[in-house]
A and B are shown apart, each in its own frame.
Chain A
Amino acid sequence: MSTLSHSLAALAKAPTGIEGLDEVTEGGLPRGRPTLICGTAGCGKTLMGIEFLVRGIQEFDEPGVLMAFEETAEELASNVTSLGFDLKQLQADKKLRVDHVHVDRSEIEETGEYDLEGLFIRLGYAIDSIGAKRVVLDTIESLFSGFTNQAILRSEIRRLFRWLKDKGVTTVITAERGEGQLTRQGLEEYVSDCVILLDNRVVNQITTRRLRIVKYRGSTHGTNEYPYLITEDGLSVLPVTSLKLTHEVSNEIVSTGVPGLDEMFTRGGLYRGSSALITGTAGTAKTTLAAAFALESCRRGEQCLFFAFEESPQQLIRNMLSVGMDLRPYVEQGLLHIEASRPTLNGLEQHLVTIHKLIGQYKPQTVIIDPISNLVSVGSLVEVRGMLTRLIDYLKVKGITALFTALVSGRNANQEMTEEGVSSLVDVWLHVRDLEGIGERNRGLSILKARGMAHSNQVREFLVTSEGVRLLDVVLGPTGIITGASRHTQFLQEQALATAAQQEIERRERELERKRRVLEATIANLRTEFESVEEELRQTNQEEEQRREDLSQGRRQIAKGNPAPLAGNSPAAPTHS
């Protein structure tokens, strides 16, 4: 069984070359078969068709035929010039043929039986003349406005799709979205291989285009609605990369730019390529922390891209200068790029594409978005989450370290933005908050999570000083960690205690010194006493010895028998004495 299933060739696919679409379709459109692209007016059906052809020619060397029922070759060529597609040149190179099929009810009269063989011949001729592998029929439904005999049209269109399949050309058929069905004329029943639906929605005055693969026979595919954009480089379907979690990871550590904060992570910083989130209520120095991170990245000589959704670059630079962080030199060196715009400027997807594009342009190692919570003003929570998922995935795949800030409102209030929304996506979550005590507010910072490393569990008070962000040492009071004025009080108390202890030590030292001196005096006395006794003893001994000597001499003389010739030759010294 398994050998059989291995020998069966998977469905051949023709890559479209359209950014993102090949990921969503897992390889492209079904090769040699028709694909229906339907959608409402202005959602880019024709553009998708043309890009399919142009990319096919440019990237896969597959010539193509464009059969346009609505616009002339001239119009089409000028429409896509802005995207950098030079249809004229491609036609001159015999890679592309554009055939405008003009169908005008006022010029056409039906006089009996007919078929659409003329169309087949034109198409066949165009395909054969350049060896086309791809065909786009741009809104074939226009035929329905030119001919009245529906029965003939339907059977002929069915025959056309069959014929295109037999020819082995990969075909894209565009059709207008109909009421209650995918296309106005129900073309979806003729194209059973692949149907892609394009949608153009306006929610809160912001347009979002979405793409969905309604069906793809014989192939798995992404089933979601994927936002897509028409950019100056053509269509771009998002997500580009978020379908799998297979990115490389780094073990390298990068500093957060705040020394004390680095120490709170056991490894001394964040992993390169990870994404961090700083949440906090208003005025808790989220932007300052973000700027410190940016500055640190620039100090390492790495490119940093800073998306500011609240402040202009000048304002950001000025404000950061006031806390001792001078961003200007790095901006001038071209290491730091500050992109400021209002979130409402674009739809979410447009933001995403702008971010993608700037990342592609600057190739930063660090990306900062300040804040992401503002984007909720553009889309719903679900949409923002979707966008951020794609963005974070994109950054991770690129190995870019990312830092996001998010505003959370009040205590225990609406925190779903972060708690349910994004926190599961990020690797490191820092929370800054007001530690409100009696008559004052202090800023506290804590790490809620840090994937892949242990971290401090403390709430650290920090100060935003004119030299930057400084984390204060932890002070433990009777009721836990204390901050602000209590910290000061505690400090003074501790100082007084320390002084007292110092004085006590000094007093004891003096006491000891005194005792030593007494001891030493006593020792000297004893020694003197001992010496006099010793002297006396020695004196006594000497006298005793002298006496014994004299005595023994006297005895010797007596033994000789001659009483001493006292003035004679005997050298008897003691007698003199």
Chain B
Amino acid sequence: MKPEQGEDTSGTAYVLHLYITGVTPNSTRAVRNLKDICDRYLAGRYELQIVDIYQQPEKAQEARIVAAPTLVKRSPGGARWLVGDLSDRERVLALLDLTPDPNDPYLHG
């Protein structure tokens, strides 16, 4: 369960902004899922910012947020908007260009 799996991208730093709406179930799940992914795959090489757009509504327009929750991956590569509670682990990893860990309990199938 060490992040040795993603060797190929281990050098790059991830800049992630998660936009949530308070403590709605979707947002809570998204936070939990993202924390788990960061711990499991990106330990020590990520910068995570969680923005509650209920608290800071002006940020929503700046970050072009339509759906909630939304994870905006600023880097590496082009910006990507990952919409939803991030429960599709396989898809999230693929979108973040991370190699799935076979030991990851959230990977189903």
Contacts and interface: CB of A to CB of B under 8 A. Distances in A.
A111 B29 contact: no
B53 A121 contact: yes
A481 B20 CA distance: 95
B68 A125 contact: no
A108 B81 contact: yes
Contacts of A114: 26, 67-70, 83-85
Contact of B29 (A110, A112, A119): A112
Interface residues of B, number: 36
A111 B29 CA distance: 12
A432 to B, nearest CB: 69
Interface string A108-135: 1111111111110110111000000000
Interface in A540-577: none
Contacts of B84: 110-114
Nearest to B27: A117
Contact of A111 (B21, B66, B82): B82
Given A111-B91, A118-B66, A147 B53 contact: no
B55 to A, nearest CB: 10
B66 A116 contact: yes
A112 B86 contact: yes
Contacts of A124: 57
B19 interface: yes
A447 B60 CA distance: 74
Contacts of A119: 66-67
Contacts of B38: none
Contacts of A110: 83-84, 88
A215 B85 CA distance: 40
Contacts, number: 101
A339 interface: no
Given A118-B53, A121-B21, A121-B60, A113 B67 contact: no
A102 interface: yes
B65 A113 contact: no
A111 B60 CA distance: 19
A109 B85 contact: no
Given A107-B79, A112-B86, A125-B60, A118 B26 contact: no
A229 B81 CA distance: 41
Contact of B21 (A101, A103, A117): A117
A116 B61 contact: no
A118 B19 contact: yes
A99 interface: yes
Nearest to A119: B66
B108 interface: no
A375 to B, nearest CB: 50
Contacts of A101: 64, 66
Contacts of A126: 61
Interface of B: 19, 21, 24-26, 29-30, 33, 53-54, 57-58, 60-61, 64-71, 78-88, 91-92, 95
Given A101-B66, A115-B67, 10 more contacts: A112-B33, A112-B86, A112-B87, A114-B69, A114-B84, A118-B68, A119-B66, A121-B57, A125-B60, A125-B61
- Which 5 residue pairs spanning A and B have beta carbons closest together? A112-B84, A125-B57, A118-B65, A112-B87, A117-B68
